[in-house]
Amino acid sequence: MEAYTLIRSRRRTLALEITKDCKLLVRAPLRCSEKAIQAFVARNESWIARSTDKVRQRAAEAGPPPTKEELAALKALAQAVLPGKVAQYAAAMGLSPTGIKITSAQKRYGSCSAKNSLCFSCYLMRSPDAAIDAVVVHELAHIRHKNHGPQFYALVEQYLPDYCARKKLLK
């Protein structure tokens, strides 16, 4: 039986999560029995093993986290490159963001607020130029369409017909 950390909450279902440091979290409803939880973990042992391997592999591929100096260099590069790209594509698309912010977010490369302010992660600068353009156009398209519906993707692909291929470069 796999060792795990149990987190009970007012949820209705059981769920498994593998953390970045390869620990298993089990999320369970408040009244779920210990026996049911153990059975759930046992039933999902193959998923747990596969997912733990994936997390380890991604961590190995990512390498060590950047130093403060490397992070500062990435932010400086992002400050130098991204505003120009945003201005170029915004003019082409007829859109105008209210602002641009550079962060050190690790889980998402970009976002667009309800007030049309764009936010980009400095880690985006580790990606190829074509992928950076894809993120910029993606976030700009959210100014017009706040969802990921067909009209949103039609707008993105109008300016980047090879958007899907560019998006794959991010992974």
Q: How far is CA 159 from CA 74, 79, 88, 128, in A?
A: 27, 23, 12, 18
More confident residue, 62 or 56: 56
pLDDT at 1 over 80: no
Rounded distance, CA 77 to CA 90, Å? 20
* Residue 106: predicted pLDDT: 87
Rounded distance, CA 152 to CA 163, Å? 12
Encode 70-137 in three state secondary structure.
HHHHHHHHHHHHHHHHHHHHHHHHCCCCCEEEEECCCCCCEEECCCCEEEEEHHHHHCCHHHHHHHHH
Rounded distance, CA 84 to CA 77, Å? 12
pLDDT at 66 over 90: no
Question: What's the token pair of residue 89?
Answer: 């594509």
pLDDT at 61 over 90: no
Helices 34-43 and 45-62, packing angle to 10 deg: 60
Rounded distance, CA 11 to CA 22, Å? 23
Given pLDDT bands bounded at 50, 70 and 90, which one contains residue 137? very high
Given pLDDT bands bounded at 50, 70 and 90, which one contains residue 52? very high
Place of tokens 């958007």: 163
Residues 6 or more apart in contact with residue 153 via CB below 8 angstroms: 163
Looking at residues 4-17, what average pLDDT do you find? 96
Identity of residue 20: K
Question: What's the token pair of residue 111?
Answer: 């976002």
Rounded distance, CA 78 to CA 164, Å? 23
